[in-house]
Chains A and B, each alone.
Chain A
Amino acid sequence: MRLEASDLACVRGGREVFAGLRFAVAGGEALMVTGRNGAGKSSLLRMIAGLVRVAAGRLALTGGADDLPLAEQAHYLGHQDALKPSLTVEENLDFWARYLGTGDGAPAALAAVGLDTVAKLPAGYLSAGQRRRLSIARLVAIKRPIWLLDEPASALDRAAQDRLAELMRGHLAGGGLIVAAAHGPIGLEGARELQLGATG
């Protein structure tokens, strides 16, 4: 499996965010997207997830499930948690597990992020870090080969960051692929770095 971008350009609100971008990531590899604010890190991730239009260039996945578009093989973890405060923790995850996949992995995923003790509480009662972990549980509950992570470690404490790094290493070891945007290290030491906004 290989995700390849050539001469990729992004235009948002009439402004060119980046252009001529090229990179390639293979299964088992991680790509760290870095750069100053506004360099287009989030836009790039959203573009791979199919949420931002490709203005020019090509974005292609080879060796994945051929009948599915790229966006449907990717998990997008954005800044927003996509959680409903009035539903319980369990109901929130269950819904996404059923909507995005088959819905079997939800209980195990809750345990994997350490939220099984609060499964019956409304998600509105959770702290920012707990909500973030609940979003991460989504990645575990449904198997998708590509993870697109936007600042995945924000609001997480030390222990939760380690747990996330462990999950990411497990995903890579299983042949998965990660594209992550971050300002600091997120525990992917071997990852290649793609710096946006430096060369234009």
Chain B
Amino acid sequence: MNPLAALFMRDLKLAGRVGGGAGIGVLFFLIVIVLTPFAIGPDLALLARIGPAILWLGALLASLLTLDRLIAADAEDGSLDLILTGQTPLELAVATKALAHWLSTGLPLVIATPLFALLMNLDSQASLAVALTLLAGTPALTFIGLLGAALSVTLRRGGLLLTVLVLPLTVPVLIFGVSASNAAIVGPLPFGTPFTILCALTLVSFVVGTFAAAAALRHGIE
């Protein structure tokens, strides 16, 4: 098995074991969705109108809040030192970790979306549209968050600092994610335009997030 496959499998295994925290993200997502009507009232027409936005916000916060242990856990137990002495380029290693993280926490959010969309009174076409945009957009959130995860290691501060640093960077993804969903539901824009931009943002974030995170970790070496 090649080193990256080994790293990928290890991170997936860790996510599934005790203390791994797979599933917590989905639970957080659900709680955000449930809290919204308590704040704005149970008006079904209103909920259906803002549903895509709330689902996107919930998924965004859930993606980012689960990220702070992604690299910090490896830094604390010394694994990161060994990963740095490996022959695999650091960029590929962090990208692999992000991919495993997306698979164990991002993908479940996408799968849960059509179900949670029922709470927001979205019809099946609308909820599929939101799920599709999240499928295209959550990898971008993970890879943008990867930079935050790397920074929180080099700055030795996790949690909220990461979120504060990274949230502004997610604005474009949120804009095009929500507008693509709305385009599919009410128009007038064609779905394809914002969706294509969303996919482009995701591809850009693969590159930028990976290289920025690796650079942050390298510069963390005193």
Contact = CB atoms under 8 A, between A and B. Distances in A.
The reply to whether A and B meet directly (CB within 8 Å) is yes
A142 to B, nearest CB: 10
Given A53-B221, A71-B85, A72-B87, A86 B79 contact: no
Nearest to B87: A72
Interface residues of B, number: 27
A100 B7 CA distance: 11
B96 to A, nearest CB: 10
A124 B24 CA distance: 22
B13 A80 contact: no
Contact of B79 (A12, A46, A75, A82): A82
Interface residues of A, number: 33
A11 B221 CA distance: 11
B190 interface: no
Contacts of B5: 98
A81 interface: yes
Pairs of residues from A and B, 10 with the lowest C-beta to C-beta distance, nearest first: A80-B78, A98-B6, A86-B17, A82-B78, A82-B79, A99-B3, A95-B10, A71-B85, A72-B87, A99-B6
Interface in A57-104: 68, 71-72, 74-76, 78-87, 91, 94-96, 98-100, 103
Nearest to B74: A82
A91 B13 contact: yes
A112 to B, nearest CB: 19
A181 interface: no
Given A78-B78, A98-B6, 15 more contacts: A12-B222, A49-B85, A51-B221, A74-B85, A82-B78, A84-B10, A84-B79, A85-B19, A86-B20, A87-B13, A95-B10, A98-B1, A98-B5, A100-B87, A103-B6
A49 B80 CA distance: 12
30 contacts: A51-B81, A51-B84, A51-B221, A52-B222, A53-B222, A68-B87, A71-B85, A78-B78, A78-B81, A79-B78, A80-B77, A81-B78, A82-B78, A83-B77, A84-B10, A86-B14, A86-B19, A87-B13, A87-B14, A91-B13, A94-B6, A95-B6, A95-B7, A95-B10, A98-B6, A99-B3, A99-B6, A99-B83, A100-B85, A103-B6
Interface of B: 1-3, 5-7, 10, 13-14, 17-20, 76-79, 81-88, 221-222
Nearest to B1: A98
Given A87-B13, A91-B13, A98-B6, A72 B18 contact: no
Interface of A: 11-13, 46, 49-53, 68, 71-72, 74-76, 78-87, 91, 94-96, 98-100, 103
A99 B79 CA distance: 11
Contacts of B7: 95, 99
Contacts of A86: 14, 17-20
B221 A52 contact: yes
A84 B81 CA distance: 14
A74 B81 CA distance: 12
Contacts of A49: 81, 85
